[in-house]
Amino acid sequence: MFLGFDSSTQSLSAILIDNDRGEIIAEASVNFGAELPQYKAPSGFIPGGANGEVHADPMMWLEALDLVLEKLSGKVDLSKVAMIAGSGQQHGSVYVNELFDSIIADLDPTSSLKAQLSNSLTRTTSPIWMDTSTGSECKEIANAMGGDAEVCSRSGSVAIERFTGPQIRKFSKQSPKSYVATDQVHLVSSFIASVIAGKSLPIDFGDGAGMNLLNLKHLAWDDDLMKATAPELSEKLLPATSCLKPQGTIGSYFIEKYGFSKSCQVCPFTGDNPASLVGMGATTPGQVVISLGTSDTFFAAMAEPKTDPQGFGHVFGNPAGGFMSLICFRNGSLAREALRDELGIDWGAFDHSALSSSKTSAGKNLTLPFYGAEITPRHDFEKPVTEFSENPTDALRIRSLLEGQFLNMRLHSQWMGIAPQRILLTGGASKNDGIAQIVADVFQAPVERLEVANSAALGAALIAATAAGNDLVKLQSVFCKPSPNSRIEPDTNSASAYESALVQFKRLLDSRI
């Protein structure tokens, strides 16, 4: 059996798979806000941070790890787990002192992880991916490197506020003594993996690419980027590796407390997006995942580390080899909900309108779908901009907003040079057939939805099975099945309407940014 964890922003979940039976055996999850209210982080982060700071308490993640394993070991015999892998929310960083390695090597199973590790940090809280407080550090890093283009061509992204390098730089400037006392900088993923393995594990390529520090050509930390980021940083990072390379056996704490076998091995953990790519069955180029959430994301496997010339997209490592792109759109559900509320309707009616609005209107009415600041493209929009050629009925406004969201995605993913053969739609709004049909039509590709909701934890379990010598493609054909009747074919009659709408959308966008 193979165990996958996902430590996301709001919860820690685990999925146990049995490869011989081709089944998910058990799942368990801990919601930070609901089950660990003492951390006063109802959505997984500490609210009210100043100047765009968003932090979370790493002790909350450890307490959740004990809790999720308590739940799981109550359901199944964990001695059958051969390999563990996992993923974490990307970019977040944990700063550990020189005690960390000796503490995790000798954990007492009669006590808790939290009680034993609370003295092992040089920074009590961790900046996470929602943090936007490092604008000046991004500029400093880019200047030291001779410009953003150089940072992007080496690391796959321009210097970005939430990325780990700028966050490390801010800490080294604000708390130089604590930075010097930091023995190692971990990501959320490598921190949790290290605790499980009983020794510091390296960061993997997939997640490491979200730091503005990994040189994608060499798959190694880039000396110049490290120097531009913070003093002696190279001494605080283990060499990066692949999440498919097991790093040794599980720590005795977990054997004695939760019944794991002595021979159970641990892989380096990766980021939630790379793990999701695996769990969605999308690790080969040609498949695209669109995740409709608070923010929408568009990600896809890429053979080469091509970078976005406009600097909006990111390149991460693909756990199956090669690379993946990730583009994040801030006005996802935010915008859909704003229009739904403006029209005073529910999701059912919203989706029905998208489906029933006349197909002859496809691409005829333009909306720049931004209700607030957007990151792709980067601009402080205040409200949507519309250019309608027909009477703006509610149904047409909904169609036009959705078309605008997916035209914007199509436009800003062109740098990847891929024509999607299949789009895997996931996230809250993905169940809606009306929305799915518009995605299929705008991209002129079939859309499918998968059975398993937690693609990152499933992806981690599949990484564990692959690291143990199983074939990933076979695993994906068993575990990443589309839900029955979920496939939506594109209406090929609308292909040319969306070709010209894309040109018109770009014209309207360029006139406003």
CB of 318 to ligand XUL, least distance (A): 15
Least CB distance to ligand XUL at residue 399 (A): 28
**Which candidate, 503, 457, 509, 446, places its Cα nearest to that of 480?**
457
Choose, by CB under 6 A, the member of 45, 100, 129, 269 that binds ligand XUL: 129
Site string for ligand XUL, 408-437 (x = CB under 6 A): ------------------------------
Least Å distance between CB 87 and ligand XUL? 9
At 363, list the tokens.
């691409």
Q: Using an 8 Å Cβ cutoff, are 269 and 253 in contact? A: no
Binding of ligand XUL at residue 162 (CB under 6 A)?
Answer: yes
User: Shortest gap between Cβ of 90 and ligand XUL (angstroms)?
Assistant: 3
3-state secondary structure of 434: helix
- Please report whether residue 448 would count as binding ligand XUL according to CB under 6 A: no
Nearer to ligand XUL, 328 or 354 (CB): 328
Shortest Cβ 25–ligand XUL spacing (Å): 26
Buried b vs exposed e over 30-56: b needs ≥16 C-beta within 10 Å?
bebbebbeebebeebbbeebeeebbbb
* Pairwise CA distance, residues 190 & 91, whole Å: 11
Contacts of ligand XUL in 206-235 (CB under 6 A): 210
Interaction residues for ligand XUL, span 62-121 (CB under 6 A): 89-91
Specify the residue, 210 or 285, whose C-beta has the smaller distance to ligand XUL. 210
> Between residues 326 and 465, which has the closer beta carbon with respect to ligand XUL?
326
Q: Give the residue among 486, 411, 410 at the shortest CA–CA distance from 444.
A: 410
Whole-Å CA distances, 85 to 1, 67, 105, 277, 434: 12, 18, 19, 15, 36
Buried b (16+ CB within 10 A) or exposed e, 480-500: bebeeebebebbeebeebbee
> Of 259-298, which residues contact ligand XUL (CB under 6 A)?
271-273
Max Cα–Cα distance, the chain, nearest Å: 70
Size of the site for ligand XUL (CB under 6 A): 13
167 touching ligand XUL, by CB under 6 A: no
CB 2 within 8 A of CB 468: yes
Q: Which of residues 290-349 bind ligand XUL (CB under 6 A)?
A: 326, 328
Q: Least separation, in Å, of the C-beta of 512 and ligand XUL?
A: 25
Residues that bind ligand XUL (CB under 6 A): 8-9, 89-91, 129, 162, 210, 271-273, 326, 328
